[in-house]
A and B are shown apart, each in its own frame.
Chain A
Amino acid sequence: MSGVRLVAPVVLLGLLGTLGPVGATARPADGGVAASTEAPTSETAGEETAAPWFEDRTEAAGVARSHRNRSFHNPYARIMEGYTALGAAVAVTDYDGDGLEDLFVTDSSETGRNLLYRNDGDFSFTEVGEAAGVSRGNDAANASANALWFDADGDGWDDLFVVRFGQSQLYRNRGDGTFEDVTAAAGLTRYLNSIAAIAFDYDLDGDLDLVLGNYFQPVNLFDPDTPRFFPESFEEAENGGGVTLYRNEGTGPNGVTFTDVTEAAGLAGDTGWSLDLGHADADGDGDDDLFVASDFGTDHFFVNDGDGTFTDATETAVGIDTKKGMNADWGDFDNDGLLDVYVTNITDEYMREGNFLWRNNGGQGSDLTFTDVARETGTYDTGWGWAGKFFDYDNDGWLDLYVVNGWVSGGPDNYVLDIFELIIDPEADLADARNWPPMGDKTLSGYQHNMLFHNEGGTLFRDEAARHGLDSIADARGVAVADLDRDGRMDLFVTNAGEAPNLYRNVLPTGAHWLEIELEGSATDPDAMGRMGAVSTVVRATIDGVPHVSFVNGGNGFASQSTRRVHFGLGSRTVVERLEIRWPSGRRQRFENVPGDRIFRAVEEPPDLQPPTEREPPSAPSPGDDRP
């Protein structure tokens, strides 16, 4: 009957051309950076080969140092170690202004050094973390969990924020290849168990603000004064670290400072187990909205009200969920001009959550809605998902998706059985760490293949990871996408927990065309300093009559920060008919007939689109003397 039979069945994802603003026509030029000598040739254009399109260059490039997980020395050590197998992260930027993007890679062990890999330009790297002064990210009271490059003080040089379980660190880039720790002076010493950080100008005052996603509450994980610091529920936990918003107060005599405005901005209501943050102008109103992916409970979507506050629009925009959100990356996968979100969750025989591919239906403010199309697009099941990044690996004009996965690959015993023992007791206090079984050498959702989803025209994705050698079964965490050799083909750096990373060079042989743009914005507020790296700048390209949209993101994606160059695949087209740039200041620029297969630098003020040039390193300053 459908009536009263109630109850519970059980059991048990160079150019070569300088352009004038609006309406200008592309003209040939003789400077700039040409495509790499390994760029596709006309002989191979339009052809596809059976050989893999990615090469694993980890060893050859000199970036093979293994990540190490944290060990603990407290009464909960045997439990903690299984639940903190995180912290393998990577962040990309051109920290030294030589035109080549570099890599910062974290370790998590107590004696582990974080690594700064300087790009030497021949797809090899030199580790300079110690000399640069950014390697000391781990000690007895702190464990590195993530990293973020952003120009905190607006001097045109990217500073480094090391996200930690404990007290995070802000390193000011002196512009001479070295850094200084300005955490205390910046007011960022608060103890937070952060695992995610993004930077964008939420209040449109011309500087970059900092948003942190905190996993645990601010309990000292290394010497906890209570056993009750674990999630209170598998599905509805609200006892996590939530989100912290630091407003950039600008630069004074003692450098840049930040103020915690979480409550005033309307973000304090999120007390979940944050694992990732993603910002984007989802409703096209000129300010960036915020997606928070949370473990053990609902994700949150906050609409930016444009007045320094956010409104929690979770219920109307995406609905409440109880999944294990771990990634939030924005991209327009269906080329409809609207930015969509990809969120990974856990999909296994014991927890069939499925990922979210939230297609943006349009609308503004509270009318903005999304529809989950993960099932119909084939991006639903990626096992225990971690980072999932949109990028166009074959330059065909459609955003593909690389998703890495797997929790812990251990011995033959399955930890799921231990979980069952925990959860069958309806009275069990899950918040008490003592009730969680130690993981030991057991496996939980381990040995899972990473997945490379090829976008088949915006409606379906097909996994091509095995074909291209990207189907590693390591316990991957973060994915950074960047064109490390400036050849127009997007490369990948994948971090693995407790293992060496993977650096994959894209050797796409099809000859498909491309365009990359580095953006250099000016501050909105004339009193604010210099530039803010153009984060949140939206770029729209018309390619063969089809509109494409991309934007500069300030760190979206789990345990990783990708390039801030905007990249478009052009397929067989060699020219972008129209390129429109909307700067965070609201200024707009339009260029026509922009030639492809080049990396341009777009400048907000004075408006220009030109080949990038290497910056002159500033003279070595003493702290504070180069600030206005």
Chain B
Amino acid sequence: MTYLALLLSVLFATLPLHPPAELFASGMAAAEARESARALELLEAAAAQEPDNLRYGAEYRQMAIATERYDRSIRFFKRQAKRYPDSADVRLNWGYAYVDKIPAAGAVTQVILANTALNRFTEALERQETWLGLYTRGNSYIYWPTIFDRAKLGIADLERAVELGEQGEPKGYHAHAYAALGDGWWRLGDLEKARAAWQAGIDRVGADEAPYLAERLALDGEELDAYLDATYAIGNRVGTDLRELWAEGAQP
């Protein structure tokens, strides 16, 4: 190989010239090999090229969590949002990036991050109404303690998410919207509606697909409160990898 050829090969080996799918596969392989820093670079490059690929963005964020590069992730999606102002999926991933940082933050910062995430989710819904967007924002509202009076907002989003979910084939992940909807009614003290929502979820997707619905229905009184308080406890890392969607064939 001549010097020139070697030089060219190095130049053309830079990340942006690879197809995003290839970058994503290499990134996931690097993650599997625990090469977190390299995985982060590769997955970021993939997500940069396909802004509307929720999966690329979601896996990139998982590496940002693994390497504690929360602020890099937030900054990345902020830049993406400037480049692709109409992309709802970029806004969703941007919001999740704030959620990802919450467990690493102090109480004031947690509130700021949670609020900022809500704004991003709202912006996503303004661009495109989706089951995922509605579920995400609705469930976010349910996390806020009752005193903030946001459960009603969450219930409205989650009822609409359920409605959208029932327009197509049942998916196991749809059960999360029923769970969160019931949890919203629990926040408001209406256990009858809460149980109705949880039962509706079982009826829709089956008990085996969503054991957490049956767990809720089996509890009452202080036991139910303890279960749900633990579910929404401060410091819990909320799963935002969205892998359950892809496992059931959702299009990223």
Contacts and interface: CB of A to CB of B under 8 A. Distances in A.
Contacts of B176: 1, 3-5
A274 interface: no
Interface string A417-457: 00110011110000000000000000000000000000000
A351 interface: yes
B106 A348 contact: yes
Given A11-B234, A315-B72, A4 B244 contact: yes
Given A9-B233, A11-B234, A320-B71, A351 B99 contact: no
Contacts of A320: 71-72, 74-75
B106 to A, nearest CB: 4
A10 B111 CA distance: 6
A6 B238 contact: yes
B74 A3 contact: no
A82 to B, nearest CB: 16
Contacts of A5: 139, 176, 238-239
A319 B107 contact: no
A361 interface: no
A234 interface: yes
Interface residues of A, number: 34
Nearest to A346: B106
Interface string B82-112: 0000000000000010110011111111111
A392 interface: no
Given A320-B71, A320-B72, A426-B119, A11 B238 contact: no
A350 interface: yes
Given A10-B144, A11-B107, A11-B111, A2 B241 contact: yes
Given A3-B241, A10-B110, A352 B104 contact: yes
Given A4-B242, A7-B140, A416 B108 contact: yes
Contacts of B241: 2-3
Contacts of A425: 115
Contacts of B113: 8, 235
Nearest to B114: A8
B105 A12 contact: no
A353 interface: yes
A3 B74 CA distance: 20
A181 to B, nearest CB: 43
Nearest to B238: A7
B241 to A, nearest CB: 5
A106 B132 CA distance: 57
Nearest to A12: B107
A1 B145 CA distance: 22
Contact of B71 (A319, A352, A424): A319
Contacts of B69: 319
A2 B242 CA distance: 7
A349 interface: yes
9 contacts: A6-B136, A6-B239, A7-B136, A8-B113, A9-B238, A12-B107, A236-B78, A298-B75, A319-B69
Interface of A: 1-12, 234-236, 298, 315, 319-322, 348-353, 416, 419-420, 423-426
Given A3-B245, A9-B234, A426-B118, 7 more contacts: A7-B136, A7-B238, A9-B103, A235-B113, A352-B105, A420-B111, A426-B115
